[in-house]
Amino acid sequence: MLSLYQNSQEQSAVLKEDFPKISKHIDRVENALPSSENMLPFINAVENLSGANEVQQSFKFENITPQLIPDLGLNAIPFNVTLSGNRSQFLAYLSSLEKLPYFTKIVSINIMAAQGFDGPSQISLRGLLYTK
């Protein structure tokens, strides 16, 4: 019983020490999971990526009803993006997408390139946006 008490005391001390380090990031984490009822900021952010990366883009949600991801305990909304561009533009786009302040996951990527990947290509990707 005494060892349980000591272990609890040690864990409490660690939590008190670590909380100031993470507390300044709590808002960022909360904002990374948008409400499924307010998707406009995410849509605008994704739409802005096309101009920044010089690609033509088509973006749409597969459906707007969030799906529960049991392993994570989060909801997710699937989306599709179709891009027209070349390899360097596509890689820049993916890098920009990864830097957005949202929790997303790329599920699949399909590349159609008649002249090779360095030439004009059509790229389709399917992703998930995790939501509250």
Range of the domain at 93: 34-131
pTM of the model: 0.76
Contact 104, 64 (CB under 8 A): no
41/101 same-domain check: yes
Q: What is the pLDDT of residue 55?
A: 92
- Structure-token match 């799906």, residue found: 67
pLDDT of residue 3: 62
Tell me what the pLDDT averaged over the chain comes to.
86
16 and 39 together in one domain: no
Q: Do 10 and 41 share a domain, yes or no?
A: no
Q: Record the tokens describing residue 72, joined without a space.
A: 């994570």
Q: CB of 90 within 8 A of CB of 50?
A: no
For residues 16 and 4, what is the distance between their CA atoms, to the nearest angstrom? 18
108 and 67 within one domain: yes
Same domain for 58 and 112, yes or no, is yes
CATH number for the domain that contains residue 121: 3.30.70.60
- Residue range 36-89, pLDDT digits in tens: 888 899 999 999 999 999 899 999 999 888 999 999 889 999 999 999 999 899
- The reply to whether 26 and 38 lie within a common domain is no
